A = this chain, B = another copy of it.
Amino acid sequence: MHNAKNVAANIFETRPLYLQVHGRLLGFLTDATWKPGQMIPNEIELARDFGVSVGTMRKALQTLTDQGLLVRRQGRGTFVAQAQALDAAPLDNVRNARDEPLQWQLQSSQLDAAVATDHELSALELSEGERVFRLQRVLRNSATTSTMLEHCVLPEKRFAGLDSDSEAHKLPVGQLGRRYGILVGPGAEHVEMHIADTREAALLDVTRGDALLKLVRIARSLDGVPVEFRVAFCNLRMGSTYLNRIR
């Protein structure tokens, strides 16, 4: 029978067994051996395959579940999570006066592909000359009359064929991520103040010189590679707020 010490005693790998297992399982997710929505083998079988006890395998699986990468259902099985929405923020974090997420209607949308600018290259950690898709859309919530101008930059190699998909530019970015099988890891969004210029004022139905919330985010896939660079300008109306969950 396998023994924990036989594995852990490897001088090249002294991390706890469950972390080593976690890393191997994570590999199955990042290289798409296991695809979103798919059911994976049960914990007994996995434990046997990896030569660890069920308890250790459970701990590795639980860690992945805590990270939102797996979903476990008693009586059913363990499933790969659907790709986390690329736009969990900022869209979900804009709330109405009752602290409910707003329902956004797509007002306009525009997609083009081009060689990345220096700024985009550095944000997305691309090499000189790599191409990106730029997706610009205006969203509106009729209940509060809040509006948002989104400017997303996506690496072409991750979203190959995006421009030939006629539906693509109409979809919320979150569904795009799902369609391209991209799993997004934890990250951060930075909030700034911004004064609307003439163009933004026209698109967002505000007056030039009005104050907007500027939301900047670089989303990274599980392995830390940037998959989306987004800047959004938001006009909060009628008690709408931007939510920051603490802890």
Contact = CB atoms under 8 A, between A and B. Distances in A.
Interface of A: 68, 84, 88-89, 93, 95, 185-193, 195, 211-213, 216-217, 236, 241-247
Contacts of A93: 244
Nearest to A246: B187
Nearest to A89: B246
A245 B188 contact: yes
Given A187-B247, A188-B245, A247-B187, A211 B195 contact: yes
B246 A190 contact: no
Contacts of A191: 191, 213, 241-244
A242 B186 CA distance: 17
Q: Output the residue of A186, A213, A216, A246 with the most chain B CB within 10 A.
A: A246
A193 B88 CA distance: 21
A88 B245 CA distance: 12
